[in-house]
Chain A
Amino acid sequence: MPVFMQGNEALFRGAVAAGGRFYAGYPITPSSEIAELAAQELPKLGGVYLQMEDELASIAAVIGASLAGVPAFTATSGPGFSLMQENLGVAYMAEIPCVVINVMRSGPSTGLATMPAQADVMQARWGTHGDHPALALCPASVQECFELSALAFTYSEQLRMPVTVLADEIIGHLREPLEVPVGTPIASRPLPSCPPGDYGTYDTSAGDVPPLGFFGGPHIVHANSSMHDAAGQPTTRRDTALALIRRLQDKVTARSAEFPQRRWYLDDAEWVFVSFGISARASLAAVERLRSRGVAAGLLQIQTVWPFPRDLVREVCRNARGVFVVELSLGQLVGEVERAVMGHAPVHLIAQSDGRPLLPGDICRRAGEVAGDGFDR
C-alpha cells in the first residue's frame, strides 16, 4: 500500500531504513523537515540527533559518529553545503563514510532562499579543495528520495567515502505516493578481519577500499586527513602520495557502471534529453508530449551525476539529431555532456536560473526553437 509522503521525509525514511542512526545538522530551508524528523524519530531508535552550532561542526560531528561506528548523516542547502566543504575533504581524504543531503535552493549566497535551483552540481563535485573523488545521487521523485537516500548509505560504507544526495527544493517539498520498499539493505561496513595487531587503517592489501574499524573496536584506527601511509601515519613520500590520490579517485570510477541511471524512450530516440531531479521530471513530461506528436524523443535521467556517466551519455547521444540538457542553472551539467558527446551530436542547453522551475511546455517550446522543422515529421 503506498503512503503519501513528502520528499524530505522520504529522504529521512530512506536513511533510517538503511541504518542511519546519527544526525547532526543546522537547520536551513528547504531541508529543515529532515532535521525535525531526525529530532523526533532517532531517539526512539536509540539514535542521536545533534543540532550543532554551524555546518562546519555538523559535518564534523557526523564524521566523528561514523568513526565511532554509527552510520551518520546530515541535511542542508547551499549556504550550509558551502560551510561543510573543508571537513568533507577530511571524509574524502581520511576515507570516512557519511551521507550529506543537499536540498538545493537558489543562490549564489542567500539567493532566493525558498526557491528551487540545481546549481550545486559542480560544488558537489569540486566543492572541497584538492584532487578528490565524488559520488552524488539525484532523486526526481519521492520514491527516488527514499531509494537513493538508502543507497547513499550502502555506497558510503562500501566505498568509505561521503556520498551526496543532491535533491532540490521542489522534490524535497513534493508530496506524492511512495511504495515503501521492503527489505532495504542495512548499509554494512566491511570491518577488518585480520588480527588487531596487523591492522593498518589504510592497508590496501585486501582490495582498493581498506576495511575500516571503529573507535572503541579492537582494531586501532588512525584516521588521518593529512597525506598518510597504510598505517595512517603522515608521510611526504611521492609514491605514497600519488598512489593514495589515484586510489581515492579510482575506487569510485572503477565502479561507475554499477551506479544507477534511468533511461526513458531511448531505444529509438533521435532527440535525446539529458536531465536530473525536478528538471528530469519536467523533461519526461515534455518527451511524452513530443512522442504523442510523433517526435522520437527520449530522456536519459541522470540519477548518479558523479561520477559522471560519460560512457553512457556518449553511447546514448552519439547518433542523436540533437541533445538537450535541461537544468536549473546557467549550465553545469551541460559541460559534462559536451565532454562526453565530443562533437558527435549537437548539444543544446535549456537552462533557467530565476528560482522558477522549467515546465514541460517551456522545454518543448525551447527544444522546438532549436529543432525547427526537425520536430515536424
Chain B
Amino acid sequence: MVLTAKDIAGPRDRGWLRYLRSDTFPTFWCAGCGNGVIMQALARSLAARGPAPEQVAVVTGIGCFGKADDYLTTHSLHGTHGRALGFATGIKAARPELVVIALMGDGDCATIGGNHLIHACRRDIGVLAVVSNNLNYGMTGGQFSATTPEGSITSTSPYGHVEPAFDLCALVQGAGASFVARGTCGQPALLRRLFDEALAHPGFAFVEVMTACPTHYGRANRQGDAPKMMRGIAEAYRGKTGVLFRRETAGFSSKYRALQTARKAADGRVGETR
C-alpha cells in the first residue's frame, strides 16, 4: 500500500495537508531521511500562518532536499544548484506580498551558493531560507560540503576531512542576517516553533536544520540507524538550538517600496512645474 499524506498525519489537525501534494508520494527520500520531518513542520507552520498556496512561492536548489518542490501545492521553481536565493530574491523584490521560501541543502545554500547566502543576509530580503544541513552532498553520493566536520569520512574524504567546517548560524549572523535559528530533525515541535517565528519575520530569516542522512554521512561515520542518528544530532546540538539571533528590521521590500513612492512623487512634481 502506498501511504498518503492523510495516513501519515493521523486523524487530527489536517489544515497543513493543503500545502502537500500527496499524489506525488511516496517521496524520493530514503527511509529515515530527515527531510520529511522538515517538510511536515514547515507545512504546519504555513497552515498556522494561513497564506493560501497561491500566495506562497517556494524555490528549491538541486539535491535531495532540492526535490522538496515536488511535494508542495504552492507555486514553485526547481532551479539550479546553489542559486535558489538569487531566484527567491527576484520573486520577493518583484512581488513583496508573497511568502517566499528557499529550500536548500548545505551544498546548495552554503557551499556553491555561499556568495548568494551572505548577500541575501546583507540585503535583508524577506525570504525564509531553510537549509537542510546533513553535513554532506546526499544527492550525489555523500561527498563533503562546506559544513562537513573536520575528520569526517565521506566519499571524497576517505582518509578523514582535512578542512574545517562553516558554522552557518555564525556565518549568516556575521553577514547581517536579521533572524537566525537552528533546530534539528529530531525535534519537530521545536522546528514548528522556529518556522512560525521565521515566517512572521519581515527581513531575511535563516533556519538551519541539522538533519540526518543515514544513507551516506551516517553510514560512512558509523552513526547508527536513522532514529539513533536523530537522537545523536539532537544531543550534539543541545544548547545550540532555538532562535539564536533576531533584530528589529523593516526588511528590504518595505524600504524599497518607500523609495519607489518617494521617487514617483518627486517625478510627479517635476511634471507639474513644466
Q: Does B83 touch A at the CB level, under 8 Å?
A: yes
Chain A positions within 8 Å of B59 at CB level: 64
Taken together as a complex, chains A and B put the C-alpha atoms of A64 and B100 apart, in Å, by 11
Query: Majority SS of interface residues in chain B?
Result: helix
B6 CB, min distance to chain A CBs, angstroms: 19
User: Given A61-B87, A65-B90, A65-B91, A216 and B55 touching (CB < 8 A)?
Assistant: yes
Q: Does A272 touch B at the CB level, under 8 Å?
A: no
Q: Does B73 touch A at the CB level, under 8 Å?
A: yes
Interface centre among B73, B91, B260 (most CB of A within 10 A): B91
Taking a contact as CB atoms closer than 8 A, the residue among A54, A64, A232, A233 that contacts B90 in the complex is A64
Q: Does A238 touch B at the CB level, under 8 Å?
A: no
State which of B74-82, B208-216, B239-247 sits at the interface with chain A.
B74-82
Interface positions of B from 184 to 223, Cβ below 8 Å from A: none
Q: Is B119 touching A24 in the complex (CB atoms < 8 A)?
A: no
Q: Does B98 touch A at the CB level, under 8 Å?
A: yes
Taken together as a complex, chains A and B put the C-alpha atoms of A22 and B259 apart, in Å, by 15
Q: Is B119 touching A44 in the complex (CB atoms < 8 A)?
A: no
State which of A45-53, A151-159, A161-169, A243-251 sits at the interface with chain B.
A45-53
Q: Is B259 touching A216 in the complex (CB atoms < 8 A)?
A: no
**Residue ID in chain B nearest A96 by CB atoms:** B77
Taken together as a complex, chains A and B put the C-alpha atoms of A54 and B82 apart, in Å, by 13
Q: Does A226 touch B at the CB level, under 8 Å?
A: yes
Q: Does B163 touch A at the CB level, under 8 Å?
A: no
Taken together as a complex, chains A and B put the C-alpha atoms of A131 and B153 apart, in Å, by 38
Mask: chain A, 32-53; 1 = CB below 8 Å from B; 0 = not? 0000000000011111101011
Interface positions of B from 51 to 100, Cβ below 8 Å from A: 53-55, 57, 59, 67, 69-70, 73-80, 83, 85-95, 97-98
Mask: chain A, 87-121; 1 = CB below 8 Å from B; 0 = not? 10110001000000000000000000000000000
Q: Is A60 touching B86 in the complex (CB atoms < 8 A)?
A: yes
**Residue ID in chain A nearest B252 by CB atoms:** A50
Taking a contact as CB atoms closer than 8 A, the residue among B24, B70, B78 that contacts A223 in the complex is B78
Chain A positions within 8 Å of B263 at CB level: 43-44
Q: Is B76 touching A216 in the complex (CB atoms < 8 A)?
A: no
Q: Is A64 touching B91 in the complex (CB atoms < 8 A)?
A: yes
Q: Does A342 touch B at the CB level, under 8 Å?
A: no
Q: Does B161 touch A at the CB level, under 8 Å?
A: no
B27 CB, min distance to chain A CBs, angstroms: 12
Q: Does B272 touch A at the CB level, under 8 Å?
A: no
Q: Does B264 touch A at the CB level, under 8 Å?
A: yes
Q: Does B249 touch A at the CB level, under 8 Å?
A: no
Q: Does B115 touch A at the CB level, under 8 Å?
A: yes
Q: Is B87 touching A63 in the complex (CB atoms < 8 A)?
A: yes
Chain A positions within 8 Å of B98 at CB level: 68, 215-216
Q: Does A297 touch B at the CB level, under 8 Å?
A: no
Q: Does A234 touch B at the CB level, under 8 Å?
A: yes
Taking a contact as CB atoms closer than 8 A, the residue among A45, A60, A218, A226 that contacts B78 in the complex is A226
- Contact count band on B: 35 or more
Mask: chain B, 91-122; 1 = CB below 8 Å from A; 0 = not? 11111011000000000000000011001000
Chain A positions within 8 Å of B67 at CB level: 234
Q: Does A69 touch B at the CB level, under 8 Å?
A: yes
Chain B positions within 8 Å of A217 at CB level: 54
Taken together as a complex, chains A and B put the C-alpha atoms of A57 and B73 apart, in Å, by 26
A370 CB, min distance to chain B CBs, angstroms: 46
Q: Is B267 touching A44 in the complex (CB atoms < 8 A)?
A: yes
Q: Is A220 touching B86 in the complex (CB atoms < 8 A)?
A: no
Taken together as a complex, chains A and B put the C-alpha atoms of A218 and B52 apart, in Å, by 10
**Residue ID in chain A nearest B122 by CB atoms:** A53
Taking a contact as CB atoms closer than 8 A, the residue among A48, A70, A216, A218 that contacts B57 in the complex is A216
Q: Does A289 touch B at the CB level, under 8 Å?
A: no
Interface positions of A from 60 to 77, Cβ below 8 Å from B: 60-70, 72
Q: Is B91 touching A67 in the complex (CB atoms < 8 A)?
A: yes
B271 CB, min distance to chain A CBs, angstroms: 11
Q: Is A70 touching B77 in the complex (CB atoms < 8 A)?
A: no
B144 CB, min distance to chain A CBs, angstroms: 22
Q: Does A225 touch B at the CB level, under 8 Å?
A: yes
Taking a contact as CB atoms closer than 8 A, the residue among B57, B70, B85, B93 that contacts A215 in the complex is B57
Chain A positions within 8 Å of B25 at CB level: none
Q: Does A315 touch B at the CB level, under 8 Å?
A: no
A22 CB, min distance to chain B CBs, angstroms: 5
Q: Is B116 touching A53 in the complex (CB atoms < 8 A)?
A: yes
Q: Is A225 touching B80 in the complex (CB atoms < 8 A)?
A: yes
**Residue ID in chain A nearest B84 by CB atoms:** A60
Chain B positions within 8 Å of A60 at CB level: 79-80, 83, 86-87, 89-90, 116
Taken together as a complex, chains A and B put the C-alpha atoms of A77 and B95 apart, in Å, by 28
Taken together as a complex, chains A and B put the C-alpha atoms of A113 and B89 apart, in Å, by 29
B63 CB, min distance to chain A CBs, angstroms: 12
Mask: chain A, 203-222; 1 = CB below 8 Å from B; 0 = not? 00000000000011110111
Binding site for A on B (CB under 8 A): 24, 53-55, 57, 59, 67, 69-70, 73-80, 83, 85-95, 97-98, 115-116, 119, 256, 259-260, 263-264, 266-267
5 interchain pairs, CB-CB under 8 A: A64-B89, A70-B94, A90-B79, A220-B73, A224-B76
